[in-house]
Amino acid sequence: MLPQNLGSETNFKLPFSFILFSLIALIASQIMLLFNGQMVTGGSFRIPGIWSAAHLLVLGWALMIAMGAMYQLVPVAFLTKIWSEKLGFIQFFITAIGVISFAVTLYFSPQHALIPGILTLLGILMFIFQMLMTLQTQAKPNILTAFVGTALVCLLLTISLGITLIYCLETGTGTNYYQAIFKSHLLMGLTGWFTLLIFGFSYKMVPMFSLSHGFPMIHARYVYGFYTAGLIITLISFFNGQSVLTKVGFFLLLVGFSIFSWHISIIINKRLKKKLDKPFSFALSAIGLGNIIHLAAFLLLWTSTFNKVIGPLVYAYILLWIVLSITGYLYKIVPFLWWTYKYSKEIGKAKVPALKEMMNEKLIAPVLSLLITAVAVVFCSLIIQSAVLFNIGQFVASIVFIVFAGGIFSVLKK
């Protein structure tokens, strides 16, 4: 028999601080993208405004939200307490100050972004240390530990590569490797850190939210094996410049992702809950979209248009796989956190609302459907280089994000 003291005992203010910060960063990044639309549609992704917006979106929104979610989900998935909540709060303030100052200097004076970058790095290192110490206390490591542990290693590599990029920019050294470092930074950050993390936690959350039982877990080992092999081979190919190796790497990533999609469909088919919640359904649809993007990236790698489409594909990958997954799960996590804070002492004494009643579910399907449409419009605008189409799509996406953030904030009134 396992000890009784299992589950999340995390102070709700810790994950909540990260989540609230991330929502503000999300809105700010969207507004910045709107103002820089002209440059992006001209094919100029590497300009200060875009660097700043991209980092606000990826670090301020997605990374901060992933950190907040991990403070909530690690105790749930690994049956262990957070190593030090005090360190968690200190880490939040350092990372928040780092991300804000990093985004500001990237916008106004990118050559001075090293110190804010180091501050962000410090915050992230504290987070990695916190999580590794927490995982160490796990009684029985499993395949989820491998996914999350490897994701943390990828996060560390992403940040190290990012700092190296800024160092190269400041000193002018290592120009021969600049492209390879830049590509590796994207690979480790998007497919290494975020994808492996979403894979790992999906294996806990999908059965939990669909009430699935009696499904096999052997597939998860293949997902891990193929996907991490793909990451390593692609990373090597960026530095030795062998395009065949890149193709092999992209193929392994596609295989790993496809097995994951298949495995999740097996788990869903074993569910007891016939009608799935809307936000959860969107998180599941993000898996299909991520799989399509992996397939497109692999197929287009064989064509001469790859360099032209990789920017839009990365954009689609961030928005339709990473952001849509996180958004879907966030609609579940935030009501849970607020419910725990407000009603956990009331249950058994008075009538308490169900988690579903904490949020306006009717709004979720149109909002997230509109987001997918807006991202598709922006994606097309980037391919055909249409500033008008970009502005329309990005305007709709920004409005959707503001409505989404408002919806999350509205939970706090319940």
Partner 1 sequence: MNLEEKILEALKSVYDPELNMNVVDLGLIYGIGTTEQGDVQITMTLTTPGCPLHSSITSGVRYCVEALEETRNVEVNLVWEPAWSPDKMTEEGKRALGRW
The distance of closest approach from Cβ of residue 274 to partner 1 in the complex, given in angstroms and rounded to an integer, is: 4
Nearer to partner 1, 173 or 269 (CB): 269
**Number of helical (H) and strand (E) elements in the chain, helices listed first:** 16, 0
In sequence order, what are the beta bridge partners of 350?
347
Cα distance between residue 286 and residue 320, in whole Å: 6
* Alpha helical stretches, state H, 109-187: 114-136, 143-171, 178-186
The distance of closest approach from Cβ of residue 343 to partner 1 in the complex, given in angstroms and rounded to an integer, is: 7
The distance of closest approach from Cβ of residue 46 to partner 1 in the complex, given in angstroms and rounded to an integer, is: 41
Nearer to partner 1, 78 or 227 (CB): 78
Cα distance between residue 355 and residue 353, in whole Å: 6
Contacts of 384 (CB under 8 A, 6+ apart): none
| Number of neighbouring beta carbons within 10 Å of residue 109 | 10
Q: Look up residue 270 and give its amino acid.
A: K
The distance of closest approach from Cβ of residue 389 to partner 1 in the complex, given in angstroms and rounded to an integer, is: 41
Helices 218-240 and 178-186, axial angle in degrees (round to 10): 160
Cα distance between residue 382 and residue 398, in whole Å: 17
Nearer to partner 1, 240 or 362 (CB): 362
Cα distance between residue 41 and residue 378, in whole Å: 9
Cα distance between residue 332 and residue 157, in whole Å: 30
Q: Which of 49, 38, 46 minimizes the C-alpha distance to 387?
A: 38
The distance of closest approach from Cβ of residue 2 to partner 1 in the complex, given in angstroms and rounded to an integer, is: 5
Nearer to partner 1, 115 or 347 (CB): 347
Cα distance between residue 157 and residue 231, in whole Å: 12
Helix (H, G, I), strand (E, B) or coil at 350: strand
Cα distance between residue 191 and residue 151, in whole Å: 9
The distance of closest approach from Cβ of residue 187 to partner 1 in the complex, given in angstroms and rounded to an integer, is: 32
Nearer to partner 1, 60 or 75 (CB): 75
Q: Which of 187, 201, 404 minimizes the C-alpha distance to 317?
A: 187
Q: Indicate the DSSP class of residue 70.
A: H
Nearer to partner 1, 38 or 142 (CB): 142
The distance of closest approach from Cβ of residue 11 to partner 1 in the complex, given in angstroms and rounded to an integer, is: 13
Cα distance between residue 92 and residue 362, in whole Å: 33
Which positions lie near partner 1, rule CB under 8 A?
1-2, 4, 6-9, 72, 75-79, 204, 207-209, 211, 213-214, 272-275, 336, 339-340, 343-345, 347-349, 351-356
Nearer to partner 1, 244 or 354 (CB): 354
The distance of closest approach from Cβ of residue 8 to partner 1 in the complex, given in angstroms and rounded to an integer, is: 5
The distance of closest approach from Cβ of residue 282 to partner 1 in the complex, given in angstroms and rounded to an integer, is: 17
Nearer to partner 1, 242 or 344 (CB): 344
Nearer to partner 1, 145 or 258 (CB): 145
C-beta of residue 210 within 8 angstroms of C-beta of residue 183: no
